[in-house]
Amino acid sequence: MIKLIKVVLLFIFLFYLHSFSYGSTIIVEKGNQKYELESLEIDNYQYIELTGLKKIYGGELLWNPMGKIVFWQVKEHQFKFTLFSPYILLDQDIYNLTLPVELKQGKVFLPFKTFWPVLETIEPPEVIAKKQGEYNILNLKVSQKLNGMLIEIYLSQPLNYELFKSENNWLIINFLEGKIDTLSFSNFKIPDIILESKAYQFQSASGGSAQLSLRLFKDFPNLYHFFKSTPDGLYRLQITLEDTVAVEPSPQENEEPEKNPIDIIIIDPGHGGENSGAVGPKGTKEKDVVLDIALRLENLLKNSRQKNLQIYLTRRDDKFVPLEDRALFANQKGGDLFVSIHANAAKRRAASGTEIYFLAQAKNDEARAVEALENSAILFERPKGAPADTSELNFILMDMLQTEFLKESSDLAQIINDWMKQRLDIPSRGVDQAGFFVLNKTYMPSVLVETAFISNPEEEKLLGKSTFRQKIAEAIYQGILDFKNKYEGKGK
């Protein structure tokens, strides 16, 4: 007989490493016993700890540290988790949790919202969740950069704000109609980075406001800030603080580099065949748009004054090419650069702009949404109802991300993004990172270009115009040439 499990969420405050978030203690009642299940909030999503689940359900945990794989044998079932991948295996069934399995402080954490339904297939629980709807200022993250620092404040809704610096290196942010957990945000510190924090809630007849004050470890002369919305309706206030001190080049950087040409360019038009990719409100198909852009880019490169260029396309017509075959093709051709071309999509039709990605673990919910969208092509790579074979599972449940060309890929993404901003009259959403399958096994600098939102009616119209597609091709072309000039002597 299946026992009833009740889950009660009691919210507490947690902070760790260079970020903090609201977490929760989950009280699980099974029979007459109560268990406390450790929880974290990562990028505004709640995660639950695997060892705690084992104490409740029993079973055995087995680790494969070399492959970054964890097995959980429970009752007659077996789970297989791959760290930092959203794909898990329950017996012979593959599940996409959307969010990756995380490793924090030596513990494995699983996304609560998407993993719990999978767990229900073993023993259906009754979940009673207490939501944190009383606050609209949700989370704060701080990360150090080479020439400064980045502060990100996560919000549940867009808020008017003012931002200024005060004496003693205080950074003050006021949110009109903001609602903040003053106790939690006032306890936020990062040694040698954020020395002190204070949070205030003000009430007034007009609705009140919230203030967040951070005392930084030093003064930063340059300050930039802007709102960034995400496809699923969340918001981030991003604050960039920069130094003006130039970094002195090392002696090695002053030496004459060896010549190492970047001549073999792989262009990857996304999707194709039965996989149309995203489809716009008027029926425009991503696969058709990106193929046209890829052919235009090929023509520009072939007619350039650059000598010895070799250009290869992963597809030249409307056919489906599996993601892994695209990477294999690029490697077999000895590619020096790999550029995958796509059109973005979101549930919110107002979402707009270009965005360039390079391969790394997704850092935020927006990147994960794009990652899930573009990786969905994996579903077309197996006949309907057919079991996945071992090689495909190894592909889906990848052990690690290929990071040898991480810096070059990041630079290529930034250079192309700069040209897109110059050539196109639509917003730039900047450069981001995510774990795309098509980039994962390419052993060369690789980027994925989201040209525009085909789900946005206005940008769908633009993508339907040959002049706009030509501008996109020209921006990518100029980015490739600039990257080639910058890196051609540095070696691959």
Per DSSP, 156 falls in state: S
248 in a structural domain = no
SS3 readout for 167-221: HHHEEEEEEECCCCCHHHHCCCCECCCEEEEEEEEECCCCCCEEEEEEEECCCCC
Q: Starting at the earlier edge strand, list the strands of the sheet with 170-176.
A: 161-166, 170-176, 209-216, 194-202
Question: Which of 88, 104, 128 is the endpoint of a domain?
Answer: 128
Beta bridge partners of 103: 108
The mean-pLDDT minimum among 11-15, 187-191, 242-246, 415-419 falls in 11-15
Q: Tell me, what CATH number does 24's domain have?
A: 3.30.457.10
pLDDT band, very low/low/confident/very high, at 400 (cuts 50, 70, 90):
very low
With respect to residue 249, please indicate whether it lies within any of the assigned structural domains: no
Q: Is residue 331 part of a domain?
A: yes
User: Helix 286-302 crosses helix 466-487 at what angle (to 10 degrees)?
Assistant: 50
**CATH number, domain at 389?**
3.40.630.40
Q: Into how many domains does the chain fold? A: 3
Handedness of CA 274, 278, 280, 286 (dihedral sign): negative
Q: Would residue 389 be called left, alpha or beta, if left means φ above 0 and alpha means ψ between -120 and 50 degrees?
A: beta
Both 79 and 173 in one domain: the answer is no
Say which residue, 6 or 38, is predicted with more confidence: 38
Q: 231 and 275 share a domain?
A: no
The CATH number of whichever domain residue 187 belongs to comes to 2.60.40.3500
- For the beta carbon of residue 203, count every other beta carbon within 10 angstroms: 8
**Is residue 251 one of the residues assigned to a domain?**
no
Q: Is residue 252 part of a domain?
A: no
pLDDT at residue 272, rounded to an integer: 92
Q: Distance between CA 317 and CA 319 in Å, rounded?
A: 6
Q: What is the largest CA-CA distance in the chain?
A: 78
Query: Both 363 and 388 in a single domain?
Result: yes
Note whether 190 and 102 are same-domain residues. no
pLDDT per position as a tens digit, 135-157: 788 778 787 777 788 888 888 88
Query: Are 390 and 270 in a shared domain?
Result: yes
Task: Round to whole Å and give the CA distance between 219 and 165.
Answer: 9
The pLDDT of residue 283 = 95
Task: Tell me: do 287 and 146 sit in the same domain.
Answer: no
Running DSSP on this structure, what letter comes out for residue 140?
E
Query: 284 and 362 share a domain?
Result: yes
Which token pair is 472?
Answer: 């996109």
Q: Is residue 350 part of a domain?
A: yes
Residue 247 within a domain:
no
Q: Taking all residues of the chain, what is their mean pLDDT, rounded to a whole number?
A: 76
Q: How many CA atoms lie within 13 A of 394 on its CB side?
A: 6
Tell whether 222 and 97 lie within a shared domain.
no
Q: How far apart are CA 453 and CA 473, in angstroms?
A: 16
Count of other CB atoms within 10 angstroms of residue 112: 23
Domain final position from 193, 219, 242: 242
DSSP letter for each residue of 99-126: SPPEEETTEEEEEHHHHHHHHTTTS--E
User: Is 335 within the bounds of a domain?
Assistant: yes
Q: What is the DSSP letter of 272?
A: B
Q: Report, as an integer, the average pLDDT of 461-490.
A: 92
345 and 449, same domain (yes or no): yes
Structural domain for 53, as ranges: 5-128
Stretch 420-436: mean pLDDT: 81
CA distance 428 to 459: 13
Same domain, 269 and 406: yes
Within this chain, do residues 234 and 261 fall inside the same structural domain, yes or no?
Answer: no
Considering 242, 267, 285, which residue would you say is the last residue of a domain? 242
**Residue 103 shares a structural domain with residue 175:** no
Residue (of 260, 255, 252) closest to 491 by Cα position: 260
The string of pLDDT tens digits covering residues 326-367 is 877 887 787 889 999 999 988 888 889 999 887 644 444 454
